[in-house]
């Protein structure tokens, strides 16, 4: 979900720069910072961001220079001009002055000529801003794809490690039962001394123990979760939330294996598995 993109263009006399920055967040949180005069484009921009990004705290920065787009009209302020002309005529008549007020003189008087800025074409301006935003989002997507490839490679590597450790758990689990039976038989011989051992009792106790410590179902499900993880990463698209739930299932199976086993070697494998799961969970927070 982390990334940065930038777009820049001059459209209809407006110089527009749009920057998009995203950091990790469970849901989409979009914030747009732009000149207040162009706030009318905010809804359209948020809609575009929502179509392109599904998770992350997204900040959009807009810089505008619309000097080239300003359409200015010059108008004569007739009441003021008439007032100046009447005052000049009165001055001439009263004091028998020579000369007439000309155009250059009248134009220099304050407020005779007034400039007005034409109203902003809001639809055109919003379309221009969104066009540059699209450039920034495209640039953002390229950077995000590169980051996604790196994250995918790291997660797949850790998934391979988990699969190897799961195989070691499966290999060690039968040995645990055999060792338990051997210890049980030795203990019974010690207690009973010269009496004959009840082989059926040993088999029953060993079977009960084997059922308690069996982790076949958990390792099968763990392998299934690993397969789903690889499939999701190969399909692409917004998979962050799905991976969040899948990692919870990883942890559930690992915790169950850990609670069942009373073997030191299996316990070590479970600790290593949980460490890899936690590293994957941290990386999943960076995936949309």
- Between vectors from CA 52 to CA 47 and to CA 56, what angle results, nearest 5°? 95
> Which CATH fold would you assign to the domain 3-68+122-143?
Ribosomal Protein S5; domain 2 (3.30.230)
Question: Token pair of 251, please?
Answer: 């942890």
First and final CA of the chain: distance in angstroms?
A: 5
**In this structure, what DSSP letter does residue 38 have?**
G
**From 114-118, 130-134, 136-140, the region with the lowest mean pLDDT:** 114-118
Edge-to-edge order in the sheet of strand 3-11 = 3-11, 14-23, 56-65, 28-33
Could you give the CA distance from residue 20 to residue 43 in angstroms, rounded to a whole number?
16
Q: Domain extents for the chain?
A: 3-68+122-143, 72-117, 144-284
Per-residue pLDDT, averaged over 90-112, amounts to: 84
The pTM of the full predicted model, rounded to 2 decimals, is 0.61
pLDDT at residue 276 in the model: 95
Answer CATH for 144-284 from 3.90.920, 1.10.357, 1.20.120, 3.30.700: 1.20.120
Query: pLDDT value at position 95?
Result: 84
Higher pLDDT, 85 or 117: 85
Q: For the ranges 43-47, 108-112, 193-197, 281-285, which has the lowest average pLDDT? A: 193-197
The pLDDT confidence band at residue 241, using thresholds 50, 70 and 90, is: confident
- List all residues 6 or more positions away from 28 whose beta carbon is below 8 Å from its beta carbon: 49, 50, 53, 54, 55, 56, 58
Averaged pLDDT, 203-218: 68
User: What is the structure's pLDDT at 167?
Assistant: 92
What pLDDT sits at residue 170?
A: 86
Of all residues in the chain, what percent carry a pLDDT higher than 90? 40
For 12-21, what is the mean pLDDT? 92
Token pair 């059922």: residue: 211
Of 82, 79, 125, 78, the residue nearest 101 (C-alpha) = 82
Least confident span in 85-89, 174-178, 258-262: 174-178
Average pLDDT, the chain: 84
pLDDT higher at 264 or 194? 264
Asked if residue 44 has pLDDT above 90, the reply is yes
Q: What local confidence, expressed as pLDDT, does residue 166 receive?
A: 93
Mean pLDDT in residue range 82-96: 87
Which comes out higher in pLDDT, residue 227 or 107?
227
pLDDT at 69: 53
């Amino acid at each position: 979900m982390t990334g940065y993109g930038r777009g820049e263009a001059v459209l209809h006399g407006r110089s527009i720069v749009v920057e998009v920055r995203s950091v990790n967040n469970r849901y989409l949180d979009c914030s747009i910072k732009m000149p207040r005069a162009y706030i009318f484009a905010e809804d359209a921009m948020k809609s575009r961001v929502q179509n392109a990004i599904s998770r992350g705290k997204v900040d959009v920065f807009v810089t505008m220079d619309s000097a080239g787009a300003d359409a200015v009209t010059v108008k004569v302020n007739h009441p003021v001009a008439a007032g100046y002309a009447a005052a000049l005529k009165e001055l001439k008549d009263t004091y028998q002055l020579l000369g007439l007020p000309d155009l250059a003189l009248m134009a220099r008087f304050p407020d005779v000529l007034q400039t007005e800025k034409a109203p902003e074409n809001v639809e055109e301006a919003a379309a221009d801003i969104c066009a540059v935003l699209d450039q920034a989002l495209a640039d953002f997507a390229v950077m995000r794809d590169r980051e996604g490839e790196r994250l995918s490679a790291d997660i797949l590597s850790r998934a391979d490690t988990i699969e190897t450790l799961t195989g070691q758990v499966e290999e060690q689990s039968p040995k645990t039962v055999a060792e338990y039976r051997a210890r049980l038989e030795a203990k019974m011989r010690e207690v009973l001394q010269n009496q004959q051992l009840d082989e059926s009792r040993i088999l029953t106790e060993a079977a009960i123990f084997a059922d308690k410590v069996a982790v076949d179902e958990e390792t099968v499900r763990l392998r299934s979760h690993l397969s789903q993880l690889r499939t999701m990463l190969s399909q692409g698209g917004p998979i962050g939330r799905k991976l969040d739930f899948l990692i919870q299932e990883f942890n559930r199976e690992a915790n169950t294996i850990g609670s069942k086993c009373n073997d030191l070697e299996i316990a070590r494998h479970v600790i290593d598995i949980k460490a890899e799961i936690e590293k994957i969970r941290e990386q999943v927070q960076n995936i949309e």
